[in-house]
Amino acid sequence: MMRLDKYLSELGAGTRSQIKQEIKKGQVSVNGTTAKDPGQRIDEEADQVCFQGRLLRYLRYEYYMLHKPAGCVTACRDKVHRTVMDYLDTDRRDLSPVGRLDLDTEGLLLITNDGALAHRLLSPARHVEKTYAAQVEGTLTEEHISLFASGLEIGDEKPTAPARLVITESGPRSEALLTITEGRFHQVKRMFAAVGCTVTYLKRLSMGGLTLDEDLRPGEYRPLKPEELAQLGLCPGPGENGEN
């Protein structure tokens, strides 16, 4: 149960004061009766709330997979760049990206209002695997595989945790898949820099059992499917977008 004005503001109907005005104007009804009290308690799953004549559908938690394009920042607001949130066609205000990809990094980004899931995926103690495809300037060899596996000094207090490097192309320009279990600032770029390579292209392919849907072009997004929610350890139930 929650207050009517909070419910409407979570769904992007406006600020609490705008919503109060709309209620005053008779623009909100609950189960067919015009609402008068912004503090009226709403059962999010059972009550039928209409705003300006439209029936609202409440999803407690929403989960989206965005194929982040290069050139946008992983933030909710930015004065200079486009943000990842600009790609979502939603009025909902409580969504945010889980973790961060650099301005020039592409790939899988989960966007949700489920703070507990975000916390779980980002918690260093959970060692959630993230796999990146990288193109680098520099020749990657077998030796790099063991260096990455044993942990690298990248200028932090501690060396990096063991990481899995799979070389897919070796030459003056190399390509590789790198799986890490931490989320340090610019971690992948700093790891390659520590072995003398410069990352020229970076794309996240997966995170904690969730894999980027290659049918999504950069800038496109979609709700997570029930099986993807299950992979993240979530059971989609009524009021979550996995049921669609």
Concatenating the DSSP letter of every residue in 179-234 gives: EES---TTHHHHHHHHTT-EEEEEEEEEETTEE--TTSPTT-EEEPPHHHHHHTT-
Identified binder of ligand URA from the candidate list 19, 85, 202, 229, rule CB under 6 A: 202
Q: How far is the CB of 160 from ligand URA (least distance, A)?
A: 11
Q: Does residue number 72 form part of the binding site for ligand URA (CB under 6 A)?
A: no
Which is nearer to ligand URA, 67 or 189 (by Cβ)?
A: 189
CA 43 and chain centroid, separation = 28
Q: How far is the CB of 93 from ligand URA (least distance, A)?
A: 25
Which is nearer to ligand URA, 198 or 244 (by Cβ)?
A: 198
Out of 47, 102, 104, 213, the active site residue is: 102
- Does residue 78 carry a catalytic annotation? no
Q: Does residue number 85 form part of the binding site for ligand URA (CB under 6 A)?
A: no
Q: Does residue number 105 form part of the binding site for ligand URA (CB under 6 A)?
A: yes
Please provide residue 199's backbone torsions phi and psi, each rounded to the nearest 5 degrees: -75, 125
Q: What's the CA gap between 43 and 59, in Å, rounded?
A: 12
Instruction: Compute and round to an integer the Cα radius of gyration of the chain.
Output: 22
Q: Does residue number 186 form part of the binding site for ligand URA (CB under 6 A)?
A: yes
Positions that interact with ligand URA (CB under 6 A):
101-102, 105, 186-189, 202
